[in-house]
């Protein structure tokens, strides 16, 4: 039975606008001007603490307070404009119907990850959800992937997949000894990490269901 582990932001969901809004509301709280959505999104991928440090570099002595404010703002706005990418629901449904075990492994904090998946109507497809804080390490460490596999009751092998849009996903998959699918439609970067498959829509991943995959 094959296993696929999915990143969240930039892979399953387009959350750019809401992430940028939460950061800019935090910047506003501390008297700082807003940043463009693109500038904020460039800081995403390695956990919320790194997001704050990169997106609000002006006042490092206030990062802890800013982190607390960002969490409040994001909870209030995390589903204002966030949506599933095209083909996501259909892909998850097809993989589950084919007997695959699925999990989400994200650096986004667990307490917001599960409600987002539930309210977007896809939580039911996943046998495990590992978010930031659920494991001592974040991607690119493979530990969160191994935790998700343990929760699924499987052992990862070279037939399994990590699906994501960022270098952290690709490196974590490589270190876990599984195949990597790079989502070019997301907002991350491969940064030289290799991958076995690259897709421009999530449903293109269903090519792995073919015997030749």
Beta partners for 132? 109
Burial 1-10 (b: 16+ CB within 10 A, else e): ebbbbbbbbb
CA distance 16 to 18: 6
7 is known as an active-site residue: yes
Q: State the Rg of the chain over Cα.
A: 17
Q: What is the Cα 124 distance to its own chain's centre?
A: 17
84-78-68-42 Cα dihedral, nearest 10 degrees: 50
CA distance 199 to 179: 14
Helix/strand/coil for 187? coil
Beta partners for 83? 14
CA distance 160 to 156: 6
Contact 66, 30 (CB under 8 A): yes
| Choice among 7, 9, 18, 160 that is catalytic | 7
* Residues annotated catalytic, as ranges: 7
């Amino acid at each position: 039975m094959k296993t696929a582990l999915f990143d969240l932001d930039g892979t399953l969901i387009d959350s750019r606008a809401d992430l940028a809004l939460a950061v800019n509301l935090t910047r506003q709280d501390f008297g700082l001007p807003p940043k463009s959505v693109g500038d904020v999104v460039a800081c995403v991928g390695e956990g919320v603490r790194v997001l704050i440090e990169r997106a609000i570099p002006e006042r490092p002595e206030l990062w802890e307070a800013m982190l607390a404010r960002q969490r409040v703002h994001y909870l209030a706005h995390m589903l204002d404009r966030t949506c599933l990418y095209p083909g996501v629901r259909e892909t998850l449904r097809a993989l589950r119907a084919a007997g695959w075990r699925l999990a989400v492994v994200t650096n986004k904090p667990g307490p917001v990850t599960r409600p987002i998946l539930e309210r977007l109507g896809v939580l039911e497809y996943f046998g495990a959800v590992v978010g930031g804080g659920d494991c001592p390490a974040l991607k690119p460490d493979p530990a969160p992937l191994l935790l998700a596999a343990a929760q699924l009751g499987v052992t990862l092998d070279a037939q399994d997949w990590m699906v994501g849009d960022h270098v952290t996903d690709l490196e974590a998959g490589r270190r876990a000894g599984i195949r990597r699918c790079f989502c070019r439609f997301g907002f991350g970067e491969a940064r030289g990490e290799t991958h076995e498959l690259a897709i421009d829509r999530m449903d293109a991943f269903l090519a792995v269901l073919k015997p030749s995959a």
